[in-house]
Amino acid sequence: MMANVQAVSPIGQLPGSGGIGRRSSAPRSQYGSPTHYGSRPNSRVSFSDGSGKPHSRQNSGGRLPRPPSQPRGSPDGSSGRERPPSVRSLHEKVEMSEFLSPAVKTAVRRWKRFHEEKVRERFKERRQSKKLYVQNVQIEKKKLARKIPIDVLALEWMNDNKVTVDARAYLLEKLLPTLILGVEKLLMEVDKRNLAEEMEVNPNFNPINYLAQYLMRNNPKYSNFPEASPYIRGLREVTDEIKNHVFSFEDNRLAKVKAEARKKREEQVRQETLRTKERLARSGRIREHFTDWILDEENEVETHIIHTALKNFKEVLDQLPPDIGKGVNLDAYLKPLNKEKLEAAEFVEYLRNLVTEMTPELFAELMTHMSQCATSYRRAAILEARKEILMELFKACDHATIGIIDRHRVLGLFKAFYDKQAWVNKRHFRNPRRWPVVELDEVGDDESSIAEESNVSSRMSGSVADSRPGTADLSPSTPTEQAKDEGTVEEVDQTKPKIDESVEQPEETASKESSEVLQPPTTDEGEDKPQDTTAADGEDGTGQELPEEKKSEEATDAVDKEADEDEEGAKESHPQTAATGRTTAVSFDEEAIATKDKEKKLSLKSPVKTPTSRSGSVAASAFDQNTLNTSQFVALIEVFLGDDPPEEVVQAVIKFIQEGYVETEEEKFSRLQKARREEQLAKRKVMMDQLFDKWDNDGSGFLDLDELHSVMSKFKENMEKKIVAKAKQMLDKEDNDHRLSKTEFKRYLEVVCSLLPGGEDNFDPLVEFLMTSVERSYEERIRGQARKKWLAQIQQAAETSGASMDPVYKSVFNSLYKDSEQHGRGKRISGNIAMLERNDTAPGRGPTCLRYVASTPDDAHFMVNKIMYRDMKGISFTSVDSGKPIHVPRVQNHGNIMFWNPERQEEDRQGSFIVIPLKDHRKRVFGTMGIDTLNDPQEKSIFITHEISFFQGVAKAFSSAFQYVDIRRKTLRIAESAVSWIHRRSPHVQEISVYIVEPDDKLEDFILRRMLTTDKAGNIETHDHPTKLERKENLFRDYLFRCVDNSETITADAYGHRHTAFPLRDSEGHCVALVDISIGDLKHLPSHENKEVQRMLKLLQYAHKEVSLETEGKEQKVVLEAEKNSEESRIDIMFDRIMLTDLRETVGKLNLRAFAELKSYKDPPKVIHDILASVLSLFYQDKSEVGGELEEYNNCKQYVNQDLIKKIEEFDPTALEAIGAVNRVAARLKEVPHGAVAKHGSLPAQHLYNWAFVCLSLLEHTSKMKMNQKQPLADTPPPGSAMSGGITEQ
């Protein structure tokens, strides 16, 4: 029966329960059975009935449950004696079976699980006990082996038989030790039974069974009894000896295999041991490294910071040799984690998974990179906390509460504070009279920058002690006097510790610092130049003019000293730690050590705050030479404070600026009035843009002048009609030109407002009147909004294209497609774009030609890269010459249309065609855009008025986009020339990268594109697919984004290297590109290299400004003959031409007195002779040949006169007559290194060398251009090769 079913608990029956355990208390269901919500509390079978009580067998020893039909009489639920099961009715049994529900399935599963767990635990225990037993046996064997002597009888197994040596080794190791003892035991038993003399078999003794029993009972795996025998001990020794013999036989292949297998096993064990040790060492290194990321009392580090540092390690991998970084896939490990912060254990586990498969060299590189990132992270935390303090300081200085303060006043406070400081504090700051604190245009010719940072750091020399306030009162003296003074100091201070002579020490830095201590505080706010204590050129300290010979001698000594300093600075290495990259200070005497220890004790701890990505905006701050906003003020103070200033010094600067920045009421009122004026102009600009966009519904970029004039004449009920007509005449528009551009429209409104009574007060009423005067239907408004959106996408494509025209072409054609589908009645259109070029391939067919650079897919095969000449059919040149669009409604009726598709039949030449000229800001035509409907199957597909207006808007938008991309392309080409010059003149520059700035609407910020990079050798690489840098992914390169935010130069350390980010600004002061210069682990460049870098960057900024002004409509500046050939050649040599112009002015300032030094040489150094001869070779080519007059220096001196300076100022190295001197000039200058010129200390020779070097570069470029012109040009150059050139006036 079902009532007899029961399950046995795996734990066993409880005593006193009668074989059935009590059920645990649990809530009951509506039928009275316990409810267990998932699984039962035990494995016993439970029954339930309808009475709501547990089964009677749960409480009484084996009684059956009461059926549901039984009356409830007694308290226990029974009315009398219960009937036995045998006499129950069938109805009761069926009814009871419906209510009884055993739960056997779950109980069986639980029992099986418990049983398996018990068996598994028992198995583990037995295996562990067996393992311990085997270990104990081995230990007992070793102990027993030490006590038992060796039996010499075992040596009989040793013989010279090479054939049996392998078999003997196997038998001695595996079988004989136990078998011999068994045979011995058998023989002893035979003697004991006296069976040795009997010839008959004893039925009671079987020797084979006896020996088998012995072998089984003494298995070597479980018994160490054989080890107790001296004979067996001897066998072990013999076995080891035989094994050595086995491996010495060349013909024993099995032995070799075994030996190799053993070696492999040993090697595997050794490798596994080494891997374990390496794994533990790496975990310890990572655990120690975790503390580098901790800020203050926090014991966690943000996950995204570590993730960013690891992602940036890819850049390090790209620079490592292939054998080190090969096979490392960081992307497989860099998975985003759910946690925002990591603790120490999580940090170790996260990095340990990454470094498991890394080689030791690669792991070392990773830890070095992570340590550098941790240093940058702590530095960023200090700057983040300091930023809030400086922002509060800005608010305190902004008395007018307009968000800007006076920049020159702040710089003046910097100079005053800097001049008042002693050397101990001054060394922490950057000189406020030098770049990058001030702009390159504000730095004098005698100032330097990167070469002399704020912290003199580890490059301090013995002369530093002389620059302390106590010894800074030395007046400038001649080199001989200085030598005498140094000798005196050496004799007096013999007790002081000497400096290690192996460390080269620059002397000029200390002398400059000592002279700066003597400078009085600057009180004039507008003065940027320092008050030098040294004498001016040509004068002594009393203002009297020095003799010429003395001046020349002092100049030579000064340049020699500077060159020595440069050479020392180039050769010295910086003591740095691999983890932090910080310089190790060098002490020189006991006083310096005491001062430093005192600073450490008294130094306050800099506050820190978890750094966040400093949010920027698409519209970054524009640089203004007169004002500073909040972010620019913070950045300027950070630059002035240097790398790692003590906190008390920072507080002193803040206090000094807060107390010293004072404005009068007039200044505050003037600044407030200026701010309100700028705000009003900005508001009016926005209002006029909105008004123009409302009138220009189709986005053509032009307004109808007659329509606008008629509406404006109704202003104030026609009372100002004459004034409006007068303003129209003042526009100076041509009679046939009835269109107004946006610029002309703004000027028209300004003229009208100025002529109306009340002046500018009429602006708001006039704009409101014009806004309400124009009415558009719903269809026109919808159409205008869509078209303006598409036109904006064209400009956006240009801004985010990475200086490529392909996205712009695609956006233009997409706009045409969308408009034809939605507002052109579904026309199927085709479009093409052609650029106007000089006709160098076939000059007889016209001076210019049109090259098709882009087309829609239907016509791309027939048109792209094709050239249209003036003697060919077509209306494109008519549009180019007139500067007006030409519309042909029916192509089949026009006889002057060029069909590029030769397969097009006559009946397929139906449709409409329009050509629109493309113009720049000066309204010069540089190309055409053609649109047609020849592929449209409809017969009547003529363009209507609003479509033509939109096409004109597309052409105007494309022109603006083209100019935007063009200026960036030109900037990159000029930057490429500047970068090559920097590497050529500054060998200590490690790497240079050029970035362009692009907006990103998705991020509401800007991004940087790495367009150009160089390596240590100066090799330039231009990236066709430049990578993007986002702010949130480049926390450790935040200096690049801060440079763009503030449009100011930023100097910072990134990944252990010193970087300087220099911005290239547009006409409004915004940063559009930047140059990132890395000097490696150096803290500063040598002086002459630093000056060259500054000069190149200054000229690069000037060249970018010139290109920007040309794009905005300024006349092109053509100086050299090569610039007249083509636009490409002009851009290629623009930087060299600007350098040449600058050097012309520099050489022109030299007079005959300056050249007297060159004439005074009787036997000059070879460098001086080569420089002068190379300069004269450009003017006297017939005398520069081998054996000519210029081979003698006395002959060269005769040509050094005023006429030479005049020739230098007028010389054009790109002219045809100068090309012949390339080889002779190159041969002479090749042996003259740049640093050697400064070492000889001749200022005129330095200027002449620079001028000759630039001339040589231009000569080589011109020679290459002439050779390329002689070669035949290809008929189909690559697309986009002609960006501009050959532009005709309207």
Confidence of residue 268 (pLDDT cuts 50, 70, 90): very high
Position 44 pLDDT exceeds 80:
no
Question: What pLDDT is stored for residue 922 in this prediction?
Answer: 83
Question: What pLDDT is stored for residue 1266 in this prediction?
Answer: 73
Q: What is the DSSP string of 1020-1070?
A: EEE-SSPPEE-TTT-GGGHHHHHHHHHTS-EEEEETTEEEEEEEEE-TTS-
Task: Return the number of other C-beta atoms located less than 10 Å from residue 316's C-beta.
Answer: 16
Question: What pLDDT is stored for residue 794 in this prediction?
Answer: 95
Least confident of 181-185, 248-252, 745-749: 248-252
Of 1102, 1100, 1137, which is closest to residue 1120 (Cα–Cα)? 1137
CA 365 → CA 27, 287, 312, 328, 370, distances in Å?
A: 65, 17, 13, 13, 9
Position 201 pLDDT exceeds 50:
yes
Six token digits for residue 97? 């079976």
Six token digits for residue 429? 């700051």
Confidence of residue 1150 (pLDDT cuts 50, 70, 90): confident
Question: What pLDDT is stored for residue 887 in this prediction?
Answer: 93
Is the backbone of residue 194 left (phi > 0), alpha (psi -120 to 50) or beta? Answer: left
Question: What pLDDT is stored for residue 963 in this prediction?
Answer: 93
Share of the chain above pLDDT 90, in %: 31
Confidence of residue 1287 (pLDDT cuts 50, 70, 90): very low
Q: What is the torsional sign of CA 352, 358, 363, 365?
A: negative
Amino acid residing at 349: E
Radius of gyration over every alpha carbon of the chain, rounded to an integer in angstroms? 47
Q: What is the mean pLDDT of residues 658-676?
A: 89
Confidence of residue 1160 (pLDDT cuts 50, 70, 90): confident
CB proximity list for 42: less than 8 A, separation 6 or greater: 9, 21, 23, 24, 107
Question: What pLDDT is stored for residue 793 in this prediction?
Answer: 94
Q: What is the mean pLDDT of residues 2-22?
A: 39
**pLDDT tens profile 1020-1063:** 999 988 999 999 888 899 999 999 999 999 999 998 899 999 99
Six token digits for residue 801? 């294209």
Q: What is the mean pLDDT of residues 617-621?
A: 63
CB proximity list for 306: less than 8 A, separation 6 or greater: 293, 342, 347, 350, 351
Q: Is 1252 exposed, middle or buried (0-12, 13-18, 19+ CB in 10 A)?
A: buried
Question: What pLDDT is stored for residue 244 in this prediction?
Answer: 67
Question: What pLDDT is stored for residue 461 in this prediction?
Answer: 33
Is the distance from CB of 966 to CB of 1283 less than 8 angstroms?
yes
Confidence of residue 965 (pLDDT cuts 50, 70, 90): very high
Q: HSE, CB side, 13 Å, CA atoms: give it for residue 576.
A: 19
Confidence of residue 621 (pLDDT cuts 50, 70, 90): confident
- Give the integer Cα–Cα distance in Å for 1269 and 1283: 19
Confidence of residue 236 (pLDDT cuts 50, 70, 90): confident
Could you tell me which residue, 1115 or 640, shows the higher pLDDT?
640
Beta strands in 576-726 (DSSP E): 627-628, 703-704
Highest mean predicted confidence (pLDDT) among 251-265, 338-352, 527-541, 589-603: 338-352
Separate counts of helices (H) and strands (E) for the chain: 40, 19
Position 228 pLDDT exceeds 70:
no
What is the enclosing helix (H) or strand (E) of 181? helix 176-192
The DSSP letter of residue 576 is: B
* 3-class DSSP assignment, residue 848: strand
What is the enclosing helix (H) or strand (E) of 926? strand 925-932
Position 146 pLDDT exceeds 90:
no
Amino acid residing at 14: L
Torsion of CA 1255, 1257, 1260, 1264, to 10 degrees: -130
Confidence of residue 644 (pLDDT cuts 50, 70, 90): confident
- Give the integer Cα–Cα distance in Å for 412 and 407: 9
Is the distance from CB of 963 to CB of 922 less than 8 angstroms?
no
| Cβ-count burial 1142-1177 (b if 16+ within 10 Å, e if not) | bbbeebeeeeeebbebbeebeebeebbbbbbbbbbb
Six token digits for residue 803? 């200086």
Confidence of residue 535 (pLDDT cuts 50, 70, 90): very low
Position 713 pLDDT exceeds 80:
yes
- Give the integer Cα–Cα distance in Å for 1071 and 1067: 10
- Give CA angle at 581 (1064, 1026), nearest 5°: 35
Question: What pLDDT is stored for residue 255 in this prediction?
Answer: 66
Could you tell me which residue, 696 or 1220, shows the higher pLDDT?
696
CB proximity list for 1117: less than 8 A, separation 6 or greater: 1106, 1110
- Give the integer Cα–Cα distance in Å for 1139 and 1133: 10
- Give the integer Cα–Cα distance in Å for 1083 and 753: 58
Position 975 pLDDT exceeds 60:
yes
Six token digits for residue 1067? 């006409």
Q: What is the mean pLDDT of residues 1166-1184?
A: 86
* 3-class DSSP assignment, residue 158: coil
Confidence of residue 1124 (pLDDT cuts 50, 70, 90): confident
Q: How far is CA 423 from its chain centroid?
A: 36
* 3-class DSSP assignment, residue 213: helix
Six token digits for residue 212? 């088998």
Question: What pLDDT is stored for residue 283 in this prediction?
Answer: 92
As beta bridge partners, residue 994 has 1012, 1075
CB proximity list for 662: less than 8 A, separation 6 or greater: none
Question: What pLDDT is stored for residue 290 in this prediction?
Answer: 92
Could you tell me which residue, 511 or 844, shows the higher pLDDT?
844
> What mean pLDDT is reported for the chain?
76
**pLDDT tens profile 729-738:** 888 777 777 8
Six token digits for residue 18? 């009668």
Position 1253 pLDDT exceeds 70:
yes
Phi, psi of 459 (to 5 degrees): -95, 10
* 3-class DSSP assignment, residue 1077: strand
Could you tell me which residue, 1182 or 1003, shows the higher pLDDT?
1182
**pLDDT tens profile 475-524:** 333 333 333 333 333 333 333 333 333 333 333 333 333 333 333 333 33
Could you tell me which residue, 151 or 957, shows the higher pLDDT?
957
Question: What pLDDT is stored for residue 450 in this prediction?
Answer: 41
Is the backbone of residue 276 left (phi > 0), alpha (psi -120 to 50) or beta? Answer: alpha
Of 988, 987, 858, 870, which is closest to residue 932 (Cα–Cα)? 858
Say which residue the tokens 């303006």 belong to.
788
Of 1277, 1177, 1260, 1169, which is closest to residue 1214 (Cα–Cα)? 1260
- Give the integer Cα–Cα distance in Å for 695 and 692: 5
Confidence of residue 969 (pLDDT cuts 50, 70, 90): very high
Confidence of residue 355 (pLDDT cuts 50, 70, 90): confident
Question: What pLDDT is stored for residue 99 in this prediction?
Answer: 52
Q: What is the mean pLDDT of residues 966-970?
A: 94
Angle between helix 165-174 and helix 230-246 axes, rounded to 10 deg: 140
Confidence of residue 600 (pLDDT cuts 50, 70, 90): very low
Is the distance from CB of 996 to CB of 1009 less than 8 angstroms?
yes
Q: How far is CA 600 from its chain centroid?
A: 35
Q: Is 337 exposed, middle or buried (0-12, 13-18, 19+ CB in 10 A)?
A: middle
Position 334 pLDDT exceeds 60:
yes
3-state class percentages of the chain: helix first, strand second, coil last, to nearest 5: 55, 10, 40
Question: What pLDDT is stored for residue 900 in this prediction?
Answer: 87
Highest mean predicted confidence (pLDDT) among 268-282, 538-552, 708-722, 894-908: 268-282
Q: What is the mean pLDDT of residues 124-151?
A: 80
**pLDDT tens profile 794-838:** 999 999 999 999 999 999 999 999 999 999 888 899 999 999 998
Phi, psi of 1078 (to 5 degrees): -115, 130
- Give the integer Cα–Cα distance in Å for 1185 and 1217: 16
Q: What is the mean pLDDT of residues 556-572?
A: 42
Is the distance from CB of 516 to CB of 448 less than 8 angstroms?
no
- Give the integer Cα–Cα distance in Å for 350 and 335: 10
Question: What pLDDT is stored for residue 49 in this prediction?
Answer: 43
Question: What pLDDT is stored for residue 82 in this prediction?
Answer: 53
Least confident of 268-272, 535-539, 1211-1215: 535-539
CA 1225 → CA 1196, 1239, 1253, distances in Å?
A: 15, 21, 9
Position 688 pLDDT exceeds 60:
yes
Q: What is the DSSP string of 680-694?
A: HHHHHHHHHHHHHHH
Position 770 pLDDT exceeds 80:
yes
Position 464 pLDDT exceeds 60:
no
**pLDDT tens profile 372-415:** 999 999 999 999 999 999 999 999 999 888 899 999 999 999 99
Question: What pLDDT is stored for residue 545 in this prediction?
Answer: 39
Confidence of residue 613 (pLDDT cuts 50, 70, 90): low
Highest mean predicted confidence (pLDDT) among 275-279, 585-589, 1111-1115: 275-279
Task: Return the number of other C-beta atoms located less than 10 Å from residue 880's C-beta.
Answer: 24
Phi, psi of 875 (to 5 degrees): -110, 5
Position 555 pLDDT exceeds 60:
no
Question: What pLDDT is stored for residue 69 in this prediction?
Answer: 45
Question: What pLDDT is stored for residue 1281 in this prediction?
Answer: 35
Question: What pLDDT is stored for residue 161 in this prediction?
Answer: 59
**pLDDT tens profile 871-885:** 998 899 999 999 999
- Give the integer Cα–Cα distance in Å for 404 and 792: 32
Say which residue the tokens 């050939």 belong to.
1125
Confidence of residue 786 (pLDDT cuts 50, 70, 90): very high
Share of the chain above pLDDT 70, in %: 72
